[in-house]
Amino acid sequence: MSIFELLSLDGPATATKLAERLGENTGTISRHLRHLAQHGFIEEETDRGTKRERWWRRVGVANELNIHDFRDDPDTRGALSLYLRELVQHYFSRVTNYLGEDWDDRWRSAGTVSDWRDLRLTPDQLAALNAELMAVIARHTPAPDAEPGPDALPVVVQLQSFPRKERGTA
């Protein structure tokens, strides 16, 4: 997941560069790169590098997991649960890294870690809320060939919205 994220956020890299960033050995990273490529998540950049120095990039398709397709399958339920727990841990790590980094006041005041606890929605309303939020993100997502501004940095938007069980009611 960390390799895939680095390729997604920072663009193409070699196993050596990824190993340095992640504090892992190159052999382990290479094995994971081949595994990701085997399953179609990444591909080799054949026009770059040498036989010894292979560059890898994320493929240009969206990856979407519909958990409803797997939740009721006893053969995949355990793997799905593990994957989702790792994904949430990954999201948590992003936030803690951001909070621990030194940012100037403009960036620090532009970011947010927020939550809203006073919503009461039906499933349809929650789905509509998520669709609207994703449409806002889509409007702010630049075209692949767009040139970012001189002070632009990569930005990660994390959204978690879910119902919770009411506590203290019979």
Residue ranges of domains in the chain: 2-58, 67-140
Fold adopted by 2-58 = Arc Repressor Mutant, subunit A (1.10.10)
Q: Which two tokens stand for residue 61?
A: 């398709």
User: How many angstroms separate the Cα of 35 from the Cα of each of 1, 30, 43, 47, 146?
Assistant: 12, 9, 10, 21, 31
The mean per-residue pLDDT over the stretch 120-125 comes to 96
**pLDDT bucket at 122, cuts 50 / 70 / 90:** very high
How far apart are alpha carbons 16 and 5 in whole angstroms? 16
* pLDDT value of position 170: 52
Q: Residue 101 pLDDT > 60, yes or no?
A: yes
Q: Residue 62 pLDDT > 80, yes or no?
A: no
Express each pLDDT in 43-53 by its tens digit.
999 888 777 88
- Residue 32 CB-half CA count within 13 A: 18
pTM: 0.70
The mean per-residue pLDDT over the stretch 85-109 comes to 91
Mean pLDDT across the chain: 89
Q: Residue 169 pLDDT > 70, yes or no?
A: no
How far apart are alpha carbons 57 and 6 in whole angstroms? 10
